[in-house]
């Protein structure tokens, strides 16, 4: 079955810039959005995990959604992170994001409270109904939510009219093939190193973090893999393995902001309980940037 989506293959899970006081820096957010779209990203995910959604309040999230739609509307995709482990809260954010004109919403598997399958069906159905005509992308990340959305359940959820895709942060290739072959869901890589293998089996792209730095190169990987040139795709992807791994030597909001800082962006720090990178981590990020310099986009 189809695994295509109109959202675009390279969607960057964007960090949220803060100013010196720790408040959201809208001007820096707009600047970063433009840079990402000009360097390989088809769109951005706002207030996802990498955007520090856990420590953004609703007013901050909704303001960021509005800014993204105003900045990118009509030329790039804006996906709003609206999911949580509280269905009523997720429904509220989803409804408000849809009213602000976002192109899609990303709804994560409820974490910590561990609902059963009936609860998961009810949760995602409520969020989809709140979205109205706005497309919904499910987010399957068992490493954070404990629960894995099994292929049978994803296939069932795909029958909800506006559920269009799944961000799959799960390396089970058999499950990935079933999603592509037995559902209409767009399969989106939820881990950067899954972009290439998922594209080879018909995946629609990825929601990635390394595209903050190498969006154009990641687009080349996707286009080669989805076009059947696996040899070229794997060679290009291998060149990015250092980037993929180094961004996870500390929680990615911190590493991404530090790396982008080396490239001329002023994005502020991170909110507790996250902390900024230490000197050893910064040294490793600098080493990675030097090694990948031809593939990395500095600030224009």
The per-residue pLDDT for range 85-127, each reduced to its tens digit, is 999 999 999 999 999 999 999 999 999 999 999 999 999 999 9
Confidence grade of residue 5 (pLDDT, cut at 50, 70, 90): low
Assigned domain for 79 exists: yes
Structural domain contains residue 284: no
Residue 167: active-site member: yes
Q: Classify residue 47 by burial, with Cβ atoms within 10 Å: 0-12, 13-18, 19+.
A: buried
φ/ψ of 111, rounded to 5, equals -105, 160
The predicted structure's pLDDT at residue 4: 52
Active site residue 244: no
Number of structural domains the chain divides into = 1
Among 77, 135, 136, 134, which Cα is nearest to 108's?
136
d(CA 251, CA 192): 14
Express each pLDDT in 173-206 by its tens digit.
Answer: 999 999 999 999 999 999 999 999 999 999 999 9
| Residue 189 domain-assigned (yes or no) | yes
Does the predicted model carry a pTM greater than 0.85? yes
In a domain, 119, yes or no: yes
Catalytic residue among 61, 111, 112, 139: 139
Among the listed residues 61, 111, 114, 167, the single catalytic one is 167
Does residue 28 lie within any of the structural domains? yes
Please report whether residue 269 resides in a domain: no
**Which CATH number is 153's domain given?**
3.20.20.70
Whether 280 is in a domain gets the answer no
> For residues 208 and 15, what is the distance between their CA atoms, to the nearest angstrom?
11
pLDDT (tens digit, 9 = 90+) per residue, 252-295? 999 999 999 999 999 999 999 999 999 999 999 999 999 998 77
For residue 251, being part of any structural domain is answered with no
CA distances from 283 to 87, 128, 169, 249, 260 (A): 42, 44, 28, 11, 14
State which residues form the domain around 142. Answer: 10-229
Nearest to 175 by CA among 142, 136, 137: 142
The CB-side HSE value for 43 (13 A sphere, CA atoms) comes to 25
């Amino acid at each position: 079955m189809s695994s295509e989506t109109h959202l675009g293959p390279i969607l960057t899970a964007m960090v949220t810039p803060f100013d010196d006081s720790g408040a959201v820096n809208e001007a820096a957010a707009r600047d970063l959005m433009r840079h990402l779209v000009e360097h390989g990203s088809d769109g951005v995910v706002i207030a996802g995990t990498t955007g520090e959604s856990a420590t953004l309040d609703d007013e901050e999230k909704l303001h960021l959604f509005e800014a993204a739609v105003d900045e990118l509307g009509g030329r790039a995709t804006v996906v709003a992170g609206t999911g949580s482990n509280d269905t009523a809260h997720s429904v509220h954010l989803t409804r408000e994001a849809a009213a602000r004109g976002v192109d899609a919403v990303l709804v994560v598997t409820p974490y910590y409270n561990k609902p059963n399958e009936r609860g998961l069906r009810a949760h995602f159905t409520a969020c989809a109904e709140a979205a109205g005509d706005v497309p919904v992308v499910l987010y399957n990340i068992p490493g954070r939510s404990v629960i894995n959305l099994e292929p049978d359940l994803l296939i069932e959820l795909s029958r909800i009219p506006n559920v269009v895709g799944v961000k799959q942060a799960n390396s089970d290739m058999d499950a990935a093939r079933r999603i592509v072959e037995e559902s209409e869901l767009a399969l989106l890589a939820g881990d950067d190193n899954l972009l290439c293998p998922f594209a080879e089996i018909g995946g629609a792209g990825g929601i990635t973090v390394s595209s903050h730095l190498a969006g154009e190169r990641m687009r080349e990987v996707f286009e080669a893999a989805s076009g059947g040139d696996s040899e070229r795709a794997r060679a290009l992807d291998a060149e990015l393995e250092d980037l993929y791994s180094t961004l996870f030597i500390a929680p990615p909001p911190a590493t991404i902001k530090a790396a982008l800082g080396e490239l001329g962006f002023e994005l502020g720090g991170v909110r507790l309980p996250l902390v900024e990178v230490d000197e050893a981590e910064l040294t490793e990020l600098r080493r990675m940037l030097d090694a990948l310099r031809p593939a990395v986009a500095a600030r224009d």
